[in-house]
């Protein structure tokens, strides 16, 4: 099993393409010229992932005012993503990565330990990506519940 090796600050985002749970296309090329937060999370409808998604939902207006788009991404299916979005009224897209190709491309797929078990999966890592497609910041080992609020505090006084 492999350790994670996430993209770091100043790395160029690799070429990628995917869709969201509504069938809309997203790619590096489509997102050029926009600032966005891409947050990888392990699974739809789990307690930690729900807390994180709802935290971003609750601070959505802040990110809109900062002109930062939010995208959640995990290995869930169209159905699980859309159910998750609707159940918790998430105003941002959930991107599909059913084969975990994007998790591997961004370096967030690797060995995990949970309840005495070792397995491979998506690590909870977020990337703030600038308008030119460069990683502005990488957030590792984030706490699901507090990450959205911590990010808001960090960005609150930041000048563009």
Q: Which residues are catalytic?
A: 49
**Residue 39: C-alpha distances to residues 33, 58, 84 (Å):** 19, 15, 15
**Residue 117: C-alpha distances to residues 55, 58, 89, 111 (Å):** 28, 33, 33, 10
DSSP letter at 14 equals: P
**Distance in angstroms between the alpha carbons of the first and the last residue of the chain:** 40
Cβ proximity of 20 and 70 under 8 Å: no
DSSP letter at 134 equals: B
* Strands (DSSP E) found in 75-147: 94-96, 109-114, 117-122, 125-129, 135-139
Cβ proximity of 122 and 38 under 8 Å: no
């Amino acid at each position: 099993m492999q350790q994670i090796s996430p993209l770091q600050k100043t790395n160029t985002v690799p070429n990628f393409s995917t869709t969201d749970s509504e069938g809309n296309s997203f790619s590096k090329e489509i997102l050029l010229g926009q600032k966005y937060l891409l947050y990888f999370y392990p699974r739809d409808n789990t307690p930690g992932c729900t807390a994180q998604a709802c935290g971003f939902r609750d601070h959505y207006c802040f990110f809109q005012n900062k002109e930062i788009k939010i995208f959640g991404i995990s290995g869930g299916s169209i159905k699980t993503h859309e159910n998750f979005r609707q159940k918790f009224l998430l105003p941002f897209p959930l991107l599909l990565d059913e084969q975990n190709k994007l998790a591997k491309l961004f370096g967030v797929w690797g060995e995990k330990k949970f309840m005495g078990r070792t397995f491979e999966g998506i690590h909870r890592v977020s990337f703030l990506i600038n308008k030119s497609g460069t990683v502005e910041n990488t957030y590792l080992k984030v706490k699901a519940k507090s990450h959205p609020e911590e990010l808001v505090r960090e960005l609150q006084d930041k000048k563009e």
